[in-house]
Amino acid sequence: MRAINLNGFGGPEVMQWSAAADPTPGHGEVLIEVAAAGVNRADLMQRQGHYPPPADASGIIGLECSGVVAELGDGVHEWQVGDRVCALLAGGGYAERVVVPATQVLPIPDGLDLGAAAGLPEVAATVWSNLVMTAGLHANQLVLIHGGGSGIGTHAIQVAKALGARVAVTAGSAEKLTRCAELGASVLINYREDDFVAMVRAEQSAADGPGADIILDNMGASYLARNVDALAAHGQLIVIGMQGGISAELNVAALLRKWGTIHATNLRARPATGVGGKAAIITELTQQLWPLIADGTVAPVIGAELPIDQAAEAHRLLDSGEVCGKVILRVREL
């Protein structure tokens, strides 16, 4: 098969579309003929040498894909050869074929093509596991989503709105904020010009005074102190990224005054099964989120789609911050 191989670590130019070893499904795994793969910030970090895959995962970049089941490993009974699916991966998506545990495979939601479906598993699993399974998101809460124009952000807006929450977002352009408003955000914050703490503190949470009940943060260190300030009483800060650095000082007194909670989560490193594992997340997505996608309440937001041999350009595009929503790499027509 062919895959995106790395010629060392560095800029987008280190990626090459070339021959790679064919994967073989083991017990409990399926082999997928890949139609498309989603591009994620983690892919850029892996390319740069900052985010190595787990020891038991493929070294090929790619955390999600869509395609057709081509082969079943021993013990797999819930899928059939020929099923059109998308999947959450620990690696290997930028390739013509990939193996994945059967418990991390999802059906294609009604009405979606394989291209759009390739951009769902990573954002859906990240958003649902954090906002719903960890933070217990419910109606009338105020949710602040940093990076509202990103793939995760555009998905999180829709999920929070569908569950009855009010949504505040940060983004870096008027165009992205307009798109966020179209998706359901009501508090629109340009992080280049506005004080997000002041704007969020001007909003009243459902029961706990001014501020956000839940903050979904992709920045990490650089936003830590301001995020704590922006929380409502009993608020929860969920850190899912470190685009703003890895180390910061925490004012514990400020957090104590809020009765606040900080969660830091990583999807790729979660166990495949067990409490908090990927299988449990996939089950919830299938049962709770997929019906919302099938009826159009939540829809993938695709900002750009490129052929797999233009993976370098896809990385440059995502890194530029110009695109709103997901970037997709098309591997083949299926």
3-state secondary structure (DSSP) of residue 35: strand
120: number of Cβ within 10 Å: 29
Q: 17: Cβ–Cβ under 8 A, 6 or more apart, which residues?
A: 2, 3, 4, 5, 308, 309, 311
> What is the predicted pLDDT for the residue at 191?
96
259's tokens: 């009765």
Calculate the CA dihedral of residues 214, 168, 116, 12 and round it to 10 degrees: -90
Note down pLDDT in tens along the chain; length 334 residues. Answer: 999 999 999 999 999 999 999 999 999 999 999 999 999 999 999 999 999 999 989 999 999 999 999 999 999 999 999 999 999 999 999 999 999 999 999 999 989 999 999 999 999 999 999 999 999 999 999 999 999 999 999 999 999 999 999 999 999 999 999 999 999 999 999 999 999 999 999 997 766 789 999 999 999 999 999 999 999 999 999 999 999 999 999 999 999 999 999 999 999 989 999 988 999 999 999 999 999 999 999 999 999 999 999 999 999 999 999 999 999 999 998 7
CA pair distance 152, 172, nearest whole angstrom: 15
CA dist 166 to 18, 139, 178, 283, Å?
Answer: 47, 8, 16, 26
> What is the predicted pLDDT for the residue at 334?
78
The domain ranges of the chain are 2-119+300-330, 124-264
> What is the predicted pLDDT for the residue at 117?
98
For 133, list phi and psi in degrees, rounded to 5. Answer: -75, -35
CA pair distance 253, 251, nearest whole angstrom: 5
> What is the predicted pLDDT for the residue at 207?
66
Largest CA distance in the chain: 58
> What is the predicted pLDDT for the residue at 194?
96
Strands 29-39 and 84-88, bridge-based pairing: unpaired
Terminal C-alpha separation, the chain = 16
The architecture in CATH of the region 124-264 reads 3-Layer(aba) Sandwich (3.40)
Class of domain 2-119+300-330: alpha beta
